[in-house]
Chain A
Amino acid sequence: MNKLPVSTVKIIEDLDVLRITEPNTIFEIEGQVKIKELQISTNSFHSFWILKDNSVLTLETIIELNNVTGNIKILSNENSRLFLQLGISLKNQNHFSIYNKLLKNYASSTIKLHLVGDLESHSIIKTTGEISLNTKGNEFLEDVKYLMEEKSHIECIPELFVSAEDCIANHFVTIGCISDEDIFYLNCKGISVDSARNLIRQSFLKSMFLREEE
């Protein structure tokens, strides 16, 4: 008898926290699901998310990765919607990837990441979108912004594999850095250099949600 190596969780309604606690997990999303928070409590993981036909998954949250090697593979089925916004604070060494494959027709995916590295962190972040052959009406957008710090290193790899003709696929990467002017401005309010940097890092992670609200 075959023994299933992974646990499968079916998500059919809104969730406060999605927890990735084991090395291998499968989440099946059905219907319209909004998840408020993502918690990753294992240092090495492979997580498969399957968006069933006509499902909608919205996840907007801030996470911290600290010495994590992991990947999230998302399979989007017919007419599914993915809206993933992650603010990721990177500490120490991380190797993290998000892979989204649009398997059928009329699916849409938006993946937005804001990345910021702690001092002397070193991370590789890969985002991949793939639109399958002989599909139609799919849309894929990935938008990665990262805030560069003097002593942190983030290697950002956006990828697109498009095999269909009838689709829209975009990807953007924006790199910014903490300016001396911003630090000086905050210093003038009596805020130390370290606290100013921390405040700017936190605000950068939050800014993607705040801009949407405005």
Chain B
Amino acid sequence: MLHIKNLSVSAGKKSILKNFNLDINDSEIHVLMGPNGVGKSTVCKSIMHQFDYDILDGTIIYNEFDITHSKTYEIARHGIYYIAQSPVEVEGITNAELLRSAMNEQGIKMDIFEFNRKCLEVCKKLNIPKTFLHRHVNVGMSGGERKKNELLQMFLLQPSLVLLDEIDSGLDVDALKIVGENLKDYVRETHASLFVITHQQALIDLLEPDFVHILKDGRIIESGTKELAKEIEKFGFLRANNVSGSELSE
């Protein structure tokens, strides 16, 4: 599915990712952790080819397409969906308008009745009022509402890989549970994959990731199962590399 090989990325003169490697297969949930400022968000933004970042070296292959230097909308049309840490407000465009435009441009055919039915179904799932559809994109929404709004769009656009950058920020306990369970359901129903940046053990417990990775010095220095996240929670990132939590606790 997604294969990132030897990716080096800079923002201006600052080198952020150095020989970064990652493989994500169908239906897998990957969590990326790491201390603040190591470039976790850069991974998502580089995959989406965000304008602030320069890809200096390496390749990003998605479903056998080389998307390393593709345009952002082309990458999205390949089925990659990105939920930013702080989704922007777009005044004047309603969610319904945005979704209809996006579906139209992505070639997703859905008549208006099916669209409405699906929207109502997702609103109910996410515990958001159906009036969300007629609100301007993220305008005047709280952090938690924005995240739910992005998920509403995700359910309609049906991507095969979802990049979530701190989806938990701004979510209260109940909202976090709803989001976690719905993401898990989405993977189960569509066989999509998730790439999740988070520090929240509660979310990790809900998602039960297949892999947890630690980012440091621009590359993944350690990968493991969800147990790795528990070790990090217990001992922090400052624990010696390659030394497991159990060894430290002895």
Docked Cα-Cα span, A210 to B73, in Å, equals 28
* Given contacts A184-B72, A187-B71, A187-B72, A192 and B105 within 8 Å (CB-CB): yes
Partner of A206, one of B92, B98, B157: B92
Chain A nearest Cβ from B53, distance in angstroms: 11
Docked Cα-Cα span, A190 to B154, in Å, equals 12
* Given contacts A193-B71, A203-B92, A210-B136, A188 and B48 within 8 Å (CB-CB): yes
| Interfacial chain B residues near A186, Cβ < 8 Å | 90, 98, 102
Closest to A209 in B: B92
Partner of A199, one of B73, B76, B101, B157: B101
Q: Is A189 in the interface zone, CB < 8 Å from B?
A: yes
- Whether B51 contacts A180 by the Cβ 8 Å rule is yes
Closest to A205 in B: B92
Docked Cα-Cα span, A182 to B51, in Å, equals 12
| Interfacial chain B residues near A193, Cβ < 8 Å | 71, 73
Closest to B140 in A: A214
A interface majority secondary structure = helix
Q: Is B88 in the interface zone, CB < 8 Å from A?
A: yes
Q: Is B82 in the interface zone, CB < 8 Å from A?
A: yes
Find residues 178-214 in chain A having any chain B CB closer than 8 Å to their own CB: 180-182, 184-193, 195-196, 199-200, 202-204, 206-207, 210
- Whether A188 contacts B82 by the Cβ 8 Å rule is yes
Kindly name the residue among B73, B77, B101, B153 whose own CB sees the greatest number of chain A CB atoms within 10 A. B73
Chain B nearest Cβ from A36, distance in angstroms: 20
- The number of chain B residues touching the other chain, given as a range, is 20 to 34
- Whether A188 contacts B72 by the Cβ 8 Å rule is yes
Docked Cα-Cα span, A147 to B33, in Å, equals 40
- Whether B93 contacts A181 by the Cβ 8 Å rule is no
| Number of chain A residues close to chain B: CB under 8 A | 23
Chain A nearest Cβ from B103, distance in angstroms: 8
Partner of B105, one of A185, A190, A203, A210: A190
Q: Is B97 in the interface zone, CB < 8 Å from A?
A: yes
- Whether A189 contacts B93 by the Cβ 8 Å rule is no
- Whether A182 contacts B73 by the Cβ 8 Å rule is no
Partner of A184, one of B51, B77, B81, B102: B51
- Whether B73 contacts A191 by the Cβ 8 Å rule is yes
- Whether B88 contacts A199 by the Cβ 8 Å rule is no
Chain A nearest Cβ from B163, distance in angstroms: 9
| Interfacial chain A residues near B92, Cβ < 8 Å | 200, 202-204, 206-207, 210
| Interfacial chain B residues near A182, Cβ < 8 Å | 88, 90
Kindly name the residue among B50, B88, B90 whose own CB sees the greatest number of chain A CB atoms within 10 A. B90
Kindly name the residue among A182, A188, A191 whose own CB sees the greatest number of chain B CB atoms within 10 A. A188
| Interfacial chain A residues near B91, Cβ < 8 Å | 203-204, 207
Partner of B87, one of A185, A190, A192, A203: A185
Docked Cα-Cα span, A62 to B153, in Å, equals 29
| Interfacial chain A residues near B101, Cβ < 8 Å | 189, 191, 195, 199
Chain B nearest Cβ from A1, distance in angstroms: 54
Docked Cα-Cα span, A187 to B78, in Å, equals 12
Closest to B99 in A: A189
| Interfacial chain B residues near A184, Cβ < 8 Å | 48, 50-51, 72
Partner of A187, one of B76, B90, B93, B98: B76
Chain A nearest Cβ from B86, distance in angstroms: 10
Interface residues of A (CB under 8 A from B): 180-182, 184-193, 195-196, 199-200, 202-204, 206-207, 210
Nearest 4 CB-CB pairings of A with B: A203-B92, A187-B72, A207-B92, A190-B76
Interface residues of B (CB under 8 A from A): 48, 50-51, 71-73, 76-77, 81-82, 84, 87-88, 90-93, 97-98, 101-102, 105-106, 136, 153, 157
For the complex with contacts A189-B73, A189-B98, A191-B101, 14 further pairs of A-B residues with Cβ separation under 8 Å are: A185-B90, A186-B90, A187-B71, A187-B72, A187-B76, A188-B84, A190-B77, A193-B71, A195-B101, A195-B105, A203-B90, A203-B91, A204-B92, A207-B92
CB pairs A–B below 8 angstroms (9 shown): A180-B51, A181-B88, A184-B48, A184-B51, A186-B98, A189-B157, A199-B97, A199-B101, A203-B91
